[in-house]
Chain A
Amino acid sequence: DAGITQSPRHKVTETGTPVTLRCHQTENHRYMYWYRQDPGHGLRLIHYSYGVKDTDKGEVSDGYSVSRSKTEDFLLTLESATSSQTSVYFCAISEPDIRLLGYTFGSGTRLTVV
């Protein structure tokens, strides 16, 4: 989607290695989110951020950490990747009042842990 970019788009990594996914936005939105998408589960919130250095856990945060040192970048790190973290990861951005625009999503990162 215009204004929000995820990198890499695809990644294969080995069990036990650290992995960092990047979300970059040019919309200057305060709020940013990381979700994972798995069949039968829809999208589940991993971590979110309401501003620089202001982050909090979502419902499936175990094994993940995040950092936000600049408004435009939100990094998701898998500290030691496991096969259960094979998934498609989506970043989203929003204004504080989501009634106007809802979320805008990135195109996703497909991560495979072997």
Chain B
Amino acid sequence: AQSVTQPDIHITVSEGASLELRCNYSYGATPYLFWYVQSPGQGLQLLLKYFSGDTLVQGIKGFEAEFKRSQSSFNLRKPSVHWSDAAEYFCAASGGTSYGKLTFGQGTILTVHP
């Protein structure tokens, strides 16, 4: 079955520290991959996406993600975290016979300490 896994339920970092959020997918072929962010009480906002080509993609708010086919991963990174980055982050994928329908990971809650 197609699935997306975010192994970390909750991550805490200090402001200014680097960040990496993990995402693994299980699809027959390379899916379309997305990262979304959700602030408390809000909807989801698209951070970045990957379909093909350069495996390092840049997104909004200083985030980037790297696609690694050999590891079936699409990890989200940020060199220096700001307090406003505290939110929940979702990895999502679409592919196979389900292009157009996104499957989401369980989400990772990011807490930022001053």
Contact = CB atoms under 8 A, between A and B. Distances in A.
Contacts of B44: 43, 90, 103, 105
A31 B100 contact: yes
Interface residues of B, number: 26
B3 to A, nearest CB: 11
A74 to B, nearest CB: 15
Contacts of B43: 1, 90, 105-108
A1 to B, nearest CB: 6
A46 to B, nearest CB: 11
A8 to B, nearest CB: 15
B74 interface: no
A41 interface: yes
Interface string B77-114: 00000000000001010100001111111110000000
A18 interface: no
Nearest to A108: B43
Contacts of A113: none
B39 to A, nearest CB: 11
Contact of A98 (B45, B90, B99, B104): B99
Nearest to A91: B43
B104 A99 contact: no
Interface of B: 4, 6, 9, 32, 34, 36, 41-46, 49, 51, 90, 92, 94, 99-107
Interface of A: 1, 31, 33, 35, 40-45, 48, 50, 58, 90, 92, 94, 96, 98-99, 101-103, 105-108
Given A50-B100, A101-B46, A105-B36, 6 more contacts: A42-B106, A45-B101, A98-B99, A99-B32, A105-B43, A106-B43
